[in-house]
Amino acid sequence: MAASWDSLKVLSDSTRLRLLALLSKEELSVAELQEILGMGQSRISTQLALLRQAGFVHDRREGKKAFYSLHAALEPKQLALLRAACDSVAELPESAEDRDNLDRILQKRRRVSEQYFNLIAGRLGKGYCPGRTWEAIGHLALRLVPAITVADLGAGEGLISQLIAHRAERVWCIDSSPKMVEVGTELAKKNNLANLAYKLGDIERVPLPDKSVDLAILSQALHHANHPQAAVDEAFRILKPGGQLLVLDLKEHNFERAHEVYGDIWLGFKESALHGFLKKSGFQKVEVSVVSREENEPHFETLLAAGLKAAR
């Protein structure tokens, strides 16, 4: 980590300070930073390299894309210095424009994801979807307990929930696509599942009360979250003491076309990453294992993660 004098030198450049102000709010790709700041890739990449060398930012590779965020291990003094510097320019026209452009980029992200799911609503369970195998779903179903309240987060049309509702006391399906909610609600009525209800909402801001469900499920939804940790944190919040979270998701892979073809934000996760998400949220008895591997290329593998919220 750079010394205080070196940190002041880093923060004295207006471009670097604007980058840090943005990255303190959201992890962003180089392309997104270009669009927000209206600057060339070479200029931005050069400044990001200096910020990384100084220990202010961390980069993450997702296929050929590089994403940058504020370094999680910043020392308190450096973090205070950074915040003071950002606050000092927060009212400048450039900073206000950067914030507006950031909001626009984040809205664009959400629209891309919503458009994909609105497009496939009504036929999600009829076509191919990576990781959506009966083998993997079967592993999840074996862990279910009857007469409980369940939250299916990022439920889509509610393929799993339609099955669970035959035994559970109450099932809530949460999805950010209005069309998915509409289609799922019609399916529930068609199948006479009065205990199955759909709510429009984000898995990072679940529209359910604290400690209100016995089981939370994230089935092939986490790789569509902008902030996977936030989604797991929300699952922990809505679970009753003694409740359980089950996560089915893709193991980390290199099929980059998944971004465009399936609307994926993340190219799956390492087992250690899923384990870390659950542990950081406060779950106990965390287990993560590979439960299926597809025979056809790119040989997607599916992980099942489980964790318990301590009984109090």
Model confidence over 139-161: pLDDT tens digits?
Answer: 566 456 578 999 999 998 887 88
**What integer pLDDT is reported at residue 9 of this predicted model?**
86
Say what the pLDDT of residue 142 is. Answer: 43
The rounded distance, in Å, linking the Cα atoms of 74 and 83 is: 12
pLDDT single digits (tens) 262-305: 989 999 999 999 999 999 999 999 999 999 999 899 999 999 99
Q: What average pLDDT does the segment 96-100 reach?
A: 93
Give me the helices (H) in the chain, please: 4-11, 14-23, 30-37, 41-53, 76-88, 93-120, 134-141, 159-164, 178-190, 228-238, 258-261, 271-281
pLDDT score for 143 = 59
Q: What is the pLDDT of residue 1?
A: 43
Domains of the chain (ranges plus CATH)?
4-111 (1.10.10.10), 134-308 (3.40.50.150)
Q: Does 97 score more than 60 pLDDT?
A: yes
- 226-261 core/surface letters (b: 16 or more CB in 10 A; e: else): bebbbbbbbbbbbbbeebbbbbbbbbbbebeebbee
pLDDT of residue 3 exceeding 60: no
Evaluate if residue 211 carries a pLDDT over 90.
Answer: yes
For 147-200, the pLDDT digits (tens) are: 899 999 999 888 788 888 888 899 999 999 999 999 999 999 998 999 999 999
Long-range contacts of 123-132 (CB under 8 A, 24+ apart): 124/156, 124/157, 124/159, 124/180, 125/157, 125/159, 129/220, 129/262, 130/220, 130/250, 130/255, 130/258, 130/262, 130/294, 130/300, 131/220, 131/248, 131/249, 131/250, 131/292, 131/300, 131/302, 132/159, 132/220
Report the distance separating Cα 135 and Cα 302, nearest Å. Answer: 10
- Structure confidence by residue, pLDDT tens digits, 39-62: 999 999 999 999 999 889 999 988
The pLDDT assigned to 6 comes to: 81
Q: How far apart are CA 264 and CA 234, in angstroms?
A: 20
Q: Are 51 and 20 in contact (CB under 8 A)?
A: yes
pTM: 0.69
CA–CA separation, 56 vs 2, rounded Å?
9
- Provide the pLDDT for residue 17: 93
- Which residue bears the tokens 């931005």? 44
Residue of higher predicted confidence among 216 and 10: 216
pLDDT of residue 243: 95
Query: Do 29 and 66 form a contact (C-beta atoms < 8 A)?
Result: yes
